[in-house]
Structure 1
Amino acid sequence: MSIYVDADACPVKAEVEKVGTRHGLRMFIVSNGGLRPSQNPLVETVIVPDGPDVADMWIAERAGPGDVVITGDIPLAARCVESGAQVLKHNGEALTAANIGNVLATRDLMADLRAADPFRQGGGKGFTKADRSRFLDALERAVRAAAR
């Protein structure tokens, strides 16, 4: 069992390392660069070449049953769910075979709405302490479920 983190703009890398270390799991922190490597021997920092979705492809090619993937990228999440991995968003929301279709459809709808209104400003909600706490709890549950 391994934990894969889509690390570009990931606000919970430290939390992943904390939970992964407690369970003695191998963790892969995957990005295009710009990250300080962890000194933790269980953490492998993977720097992929620049390019669209290169980090996503690296993770999707490796994640499978028994693994946990942390990402906010919905198409990557769909590929990982399909391969049998457990997937969590940064706020602790689990993406599963039961909900990934709706999440993908909502993502596509929101992209269309943003494209239709170029003057629309703002984005999503900020990342809160409650999100961080929810994520820690969800990751702990996902790791235990994957171990079964």
Structure 2
Amino acid sequence: MWKCNCFSRCQGTLVVSDEIIDPFGITNGVNILEVSLRSDDIPLSIMPDGIGGITFVSNNALFPRYSNDNVFESFDSQTNTLYIRPDQNQSTATVNAFSSGGILSKAPTILDGLMALQFQNNAISGSLNFLGTNNENYSANLSGVLI
């Protein structure tokens, strides 16, 4: 399992672990790895708090909630890069959202976009660019080391 504090906008944690075997069946393919990116200011609810807050998990079981695969994944072995794209068919069941405004703003649900994570020795780097409800965008760069 990878775990790093590696968020450019606010403090957060990225966890990368083995795939979750869904007892209810998977409709969009088994994930290569499971990913959880959460900013530290997330309260117990699923809504991120504060400008730049985000919750993005490849499977709701990482939140923890019921198991629900939220993404499509591919892996490029030549560059050692994992590509993660939200499954639009799961947008109503996902916990994935980000905050682009203040306390009173409604956190947009992540509908589309791409996260790319590159692994090298004990380091990880990546970027994400997501589109949320109301056509709001969320972009960030990640870098960190295995802890």
> What TM-score results when the alignment is normalised by the length of structure 1?
0.26
Between structure 1 and structure 2, the one with the greater Rg is: 1
> What TM-score results when the alignment is normalised by the length of structure 2?
0.26
Whichever structure has more helix as a proportion of its residues is 1
- Structure number with higher relative contact order (C-alpha < 8 Å, ≥ 6 residues apart): 1
Whichever structure has more strand as a proportion of its residues is 2
